[in-house]
Amino acid sequence: MKQDYSSLLFGVQRSVRYHMRRCRFFDGVTRATNALSLIFGSSTLFVLFYEMPSEQLSWTKVIPAIVGAVSIMALVYEAPRMARLHSELARKYIELEQKMISVEPPADESGLKQFQAQKLEIEVDEPPIHRVLDLLCRNEMIHASGYDKAKLYPATRFERLTAQILHLEPKLERYYECGESHHAETQSAGDLEKG
């Protein structure tokens, strides 16, 4: 039961890291799109009201197109809503972690099942998981907890750069080489040895 508890706590802590990273990403997207809209919106006014030779008049079409594209990206991404969602999920996982740590480990199987049920309640509200990003958070947990570094997922540079944007599936051969089960969220802390 202690191993199940450790595995559950590891998963909860990894989920906190994952949702905090997603929240920071969407906050950054929101700030970037707002900044670009302001910059290019101001440039549009400048271009429209400034007398220019006729060969430069194409900017009057290009800059508004950029403003439109940035605004569309912000709408499609729903960055502010997603930032709030991931912030709320991180908060719920932190509350669960606090409860778990306060009774470490539960005295009986029913206490463990109660924590598992609370974790499942939170997972219901989660959007689809970015698996590579989840594995990167797992790697952070391994480093922070002092587990065997041989269990780290060897993410490629491309995977690290696009983990927030693309829903990539990890390469299975590397996935299993690092001791990962098929479902990243169920990785047992008991399967990781302290280094």
Mean pLDDT by groups of 10 residues along the chain of 195 residues: 86 95 91 78 61 58 71 77 94 96 82 93 94 94 88 92 90 62 43 48
Q: Tell me the whole-structure pTM to 2 decimals.
A: 0.73
pLDDT at 147: 85
Give the torsion sign (CA, 132, 137, 140, 144). Answer: negative
pLDDT at 73: 73
Give the torsion sign (CA, 24, 25, 26, 30). Answer: positive
pLDDT at 170: 86
pLDDT at 193: 45
pLDDT at 105: 78
